[in-house]
């Protein structure tokens, strides 16, 4: 195994000392779907010292088209993603210490995982978790790399506490486009491009080459051949509640978390966002039409899927009928509404 990392060490910005540094570092990847699989594999091949993976889902057939760590057997056995991922990753590199957590990413589960973490990788599918990561990153001074993709469109941005504007500065409030991979689809090149940019940034952070970090917010559409870099230099807000002069870290507080509750005797779970979300029902109906039969009136939109019915109210409150499992409800919610 002597020359395992030789090609990476020949690359001058890494070199031998960079390789030693990579092997002493710990990355936390939040979500092990498509982006998380790609990042985890690349970091394990690069010889990262320690990797922690957190994900609440199990492998499904629809994942295999782009989630590169999983096999048909994993889907057949409904294997939890982190378990299947760890098995495959250890086959690739036995030297890496890999810790996994089959859990929903929330403040209670993420906080204990942050110990000695050098960098966090965003491979989640929703903004609730991203804003939580954003506040954790600022409070505990951990850099993180945002990444998102849907269809042929991707975006990524590197956040270094104290140096760059945070995600809150850039997006101000949680964007609610209602567009997700489960409603408009996703192609694997989109994933690979976002993950490649994320891993490059992680490697720069791990070897301490801060000067090389990309300072812009990058977006692209690989199908439409578009590529944009947005200059964020002036976007840092002095009064930002996450990274400003007097931070309150709003997404670490209970009031700002999306709340789920089993509705007693109704075989249903209610989901309440922290702030009202006013969806455009017409647009939402269009996005959800492949999921099931849509019914709509001025007060609510209902979508009847195969084994559950999701009802979205005017203020963003959602009730999913036909299930009593909070985790499953959460999965459906973020899949359909992002």
The residue (of 131 and 308) whose beta carbon lies closer to Zn ion is 131
Cβ 160 to Zn ion, closest distance in Å?
Answer: 12
Cβ 159 to Zn ion, closest distance in Å?
Answer: 9
The residue (of 25 and 168) whose beta carbon lies closer to Zn ion is 168
Using an 8 Å Cβ cutoff, are 163 and 266 in contact? no
Using an 8 Å Cβ cutoff, are 135 and 167 in contact? no
Task: Please pick, from the candidates 9, 39, 63, 242, the single residue that binds Zn ion as defined by CB under 5 A.
Answer: 242
Using an 8 Å Cβ cutoff, are 295 and 301 in contact? yes
Residues 6+ apart with CB under 8 A from 30: 36, 54, 105, 110, 120, 121, 122, 123, 124, 129, 133
> Per rule CB under 5 A, is residue 240 in the interface with Zn ion?
yes
Token digits of residue 37: 């699989």
**CA separation for the pair 195, 148 (Å, rounded):** 9
Cβ 240 to Zn ion, closest distance in Å?
Answer: 3
Give me the 190-229 binding string for Zn ion, x by CB under 5 A, dash otherwise.
----------------------------------------
The residue (of 243 and 319) whose beta carbon lies closer to Zn ion is 243
Q: For residues 280-299, which are near Zn ion according to CB under 5 A? A: none
Cβ 167 to Zn ion, closest distance in Å?
Answer: 7
Catalytic residue at 181? yes
Cβ 199 to Zn ion, closest distance in Å?
Answer: 24
Number of residues that bind Zn ion (CB under 5 A): 6
Q: CA nearest 275: which of 171, 169, 128?
A: 128
The residue (of 153 and 251) whose beta carbon lies closer to Zn ion is 251
Using an 8 Å Cβ cutoff, are 146 and 122 in contact? yes
The residue (of 251 and 308) whose beta carbon lies closer to Zn ion is 251
Using an 8 Å Cβ cutoff, are 190 and 156 in contact? no
Using an 8 Å Cβ cutoff, are 175 and 140 in contact? no
Beta strand 300-304 with 293-296: parallel, antiparallel or unpaired?
A: antiparallel
Q: Give the dihedral sign, CA 313/318/323/324.
A: negative
The H or E element that residue 323 is part of is none
Give me the 158-197 binding string for Zn ion, x by CB under 5 A, dash otherwise.
--------x-xx----------------------------
Backbone angles phi, psi at 208, to 5 degrees: 75, 25
Residue reference for tokens 């403040």? 107
Question: In the complex, which residue's CB is closest to Zn ion?
Answer: 240
| Stated length of the chain | 338
**CA separation for the pair 224, 258 (Å, rounded):** 35
> Per rule CB under 5 A, is residue 56 in the interface with Zn ion?
no
* The one segment of 84-92, 219-227, 243-251, 271-279 that binds Zn ion by CB under 5 A: 243-251
The residue (of 85 and 243) whose beta carbon lies closer to Zn ion is 243
The residue (of 88 and 168) whose beta carbon lies closer to Zn ion is 168
Q: For residues 107-166, which are near Zn ion according to CB under 5 A? A: 166
Q: How far is CA 25 from CA 101, 115, 184, 223, in A?
A: 19, 12, 37, 36
* The one segment of 41-49, 87-95, 241-249, 295-303 that binds Zn ion by CB under 5 A: 241-249
Catalytic residue among 149, 166, 169, 181: 181
Cβ 134 to Zn ion, closest distance in Å?
Answer: 8
Backbone angles phi, psi at 267, to 5 degrees: 50, 50
Task: Please pick, from the candidates 53, 113, 202, 243, the single residue that binds Zn ion as defined by CB under 5 A.
Answer: 243
Write out the residues near Zn ion by the rule CB under 5 A.
166, 168-169, 240, 242-243
| Active site residue ranges | 181
């Amino acid at each position: 195994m002597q020359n395992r990392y030789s090609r990476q060490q020949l690359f001058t910005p890494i070199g031998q000392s960079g390789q030693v540094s990579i092997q002493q570092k710990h990355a936390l990847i939040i979500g092990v779907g498509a982006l998380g699989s790609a990042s985890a594999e690349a970091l394990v091949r690069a010889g990262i010292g320690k990797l922690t993976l957190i994900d609440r889902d199990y492998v499904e057939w629809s994942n295999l088209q782009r989630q590169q760590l999983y096999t048909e057997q994993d889907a057949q056995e409904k294997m939890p993603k982190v378990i299947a991922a760890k098995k495959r990753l250890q086959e690739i590199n036995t030297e890496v210490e890999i810790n996994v957590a089959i859990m929903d990413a929330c403040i209670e589960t993420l906080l204990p995982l942050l110990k000695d973490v050098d960098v966090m990788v965003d491979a989640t599918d929703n903004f609730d978790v991203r804003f939580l990561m954003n506040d954790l990153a600022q409070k505990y001074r951990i850099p993180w790399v945002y990444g998102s993709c849907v269809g042929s469109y991707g975006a990524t941005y590197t956040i270094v506490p104290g140096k760059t504007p945070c995600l809150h500065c850039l997006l101000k409030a949680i964007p609610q486009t209602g567009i997700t991979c489960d409603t408009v689809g996703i192609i694997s090149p989109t994933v690979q491009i976002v993950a490649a940019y994320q891993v490059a940034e992680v490697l720069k952070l791990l070897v301490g080459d801060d000067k090389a970090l990309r300072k812009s917010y990058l977006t692209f559409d690989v199908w439409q051949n578009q590529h944009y870099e947005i200059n964020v230099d002036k976007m840092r807000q002095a009064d930002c509640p996450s990274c400003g002069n007097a931070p309150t870290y709003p997404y670490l507080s209970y009031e700002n978390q999306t709340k789920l509750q089993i509705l007693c005797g109704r075989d249903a779970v209610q989901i309440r966002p922290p702030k009202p979300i006013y969806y455009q029902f017409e647009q939402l109906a269009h996005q959800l039409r492949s999921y099931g039969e849509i019914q709509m009136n001025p007060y609510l939109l209902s979508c009847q899927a195969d084994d559950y019915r999701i009802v979205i109210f005017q203020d963003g409150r959602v009730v999913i009928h036909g299930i009593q499992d909070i985790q499953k409800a959460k999965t459906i919610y973020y899949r359909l509404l992002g």
